[in-house]
Amino acid sequence: MSTLRDLAEEHTQLRPADIDHLHRIAGDWQLLSDMSFADLLLWAPVDADGTFLCVAQVRPTTAPTAYQDDQVGRIVGGPEVAHLEVAYRQGRIWREGDPVWYGDVPARHEAIPVRLRTADGEAGEVVAVVGRDTNLSTARTPSQLELNYLTTADDLAQMIADGTFPPPRHPGETTSAPRVGDGLVRLDANGKVTYASPNAQSAYRRLGYASHLVGEDLAALHRRLANDPLEGT
């Protein structure tokens, strides 16, 4: 099977820096897929007539896929990808429109522009689009945990559109994408916990902190735990 780089170099005019950025997204986007409960498809523009090529795909581990067949290598255009064209040309996240059907599976389309930051940190041009497609066949009222997943997913989607996620990796740096099932902690602008999933709360309990995390200054808590691992037991 052709790799993301092979497909991009053969069919698109993307620059090496653009392709490297798409690789970073594809390396870290399982987290976004799981918190979105949605498939993510990475679409690269083929030419100026609104044709796009799927160069990568990831399925959620938290929900059923919207696609039974692999979409990598598929080239599409016309009305089918009007949402991708809007995100690419206007540089904004597209969330309008009615559900579409793939066979007997109803799905909701979203399109997230992929922006590459310039060398001086300014917002650069849009180089590709991430399609976020949700299988609606099992739709129901989400729980508090799921609502926090979706809110965090929307934050990450906006960071992709802004060009700030994922961040560039430094030479020699090795990372592994976090798994949402390991625990989710959301912070406010002051670094205080606004939500902690049950798995996150359990992880901190194993570290010696038995109280509720919500309301805690997370950095200060970490310093206290480092100095007194038995705090809260």
Q: Is the pLDDT score of 41 beyond 90?
A: yes
Q: Report the candidate in 92, 95, 191 with the shortest Cα–Cα distance to residue 134.
A: 95
pLDDT of residue 122: 82
**pTM for the whole structure:** 0.90
Bridge partners (DSSP) listed for residue 192: 217
Bridge partners (DSSP) listed for residue 39: 133
Contact at 8 Å (CB) between 107 and 133?
yes
pLDDT of residue 74: 96
Q: Report the candidate in 186, 176, 183 with the shortest Cα–Cα distance to residue 215.
A: 186
Say how many C-beta atoms besides its own lie within 10 A of residue 190's C-beta.
6
pLDDT of residue 177: 67
DSSP-assigned states of every residue in 50-119: S-EEEEEEE--SSS--S-SS--TT-EE-GGGGHHHHHHHHH-S-B--S--EEETTEEEEEEEEEEEPPPT
Q: Report the candidate in 79, 40, 82, 41 with the shortest Cα–Cα distance to residue 62.
A: 40
Contact at 8 Å (CB) between 204 and 188?
no
Query: What confidence category does residue 123 fall into, taking pLDDT thresholds of 50, 70 and 90?
Result: confident
Q: Report the candidate in 30, 22, 21 with the shortest Cα–Cα distance to residue 177.
A: 30
pLDDT of residue 224: 92
d(CA 61, CA 110): 19
Contact at 8 Å (CB) between 185 and 193?
yes
Q: Which tokens sit at 183?
A: 């625990």
pLDDT of 188-211, one tens digit each?
A: 999 999 999 999 999 999 999 999
Q: Is the pLDDT score of 18 beyond 90?
A: yes
Sign, Cα dihedral of 186, 188, 192, 195? negative
pLDDT of 80-107, one tens digit each?
A: 899 999 999 999 999 998 899 888 899 9
pLDDT of 20-38, one tens digit each?
A: 999 999 999 999 999 999 9
Q: Which tokens sit at 158?
A: 């906006």
pLDDT of residue 109: 94
Report how far apart, in Å, the C-alpha atoms of 50 and of each of 55, 78, 86, 115 are: 16, 7, 10, 17
Which residue shows structure tokens 């009222």? 141
pLDDT of residue 103: 82
Q: What is the mean pLDDT of the chain?
A: 92
Over residues 123-142, the mean pLDDT reads 93
Query: What confidence category does residue 16 fall into, taking pLDDT thresholds of 50, 70 and 90?
Result: very high
pLDDT of residue 167: 80
pLDDT of residue 20: 94
Q: Report the candidate in 94, 49, 58, 97 with the shortest Cα–Cα distance to residue 76.
A: 49
pLDDT of 44-69, one tens digit each?
A: 999 888 999 999 999 999 999 999 99
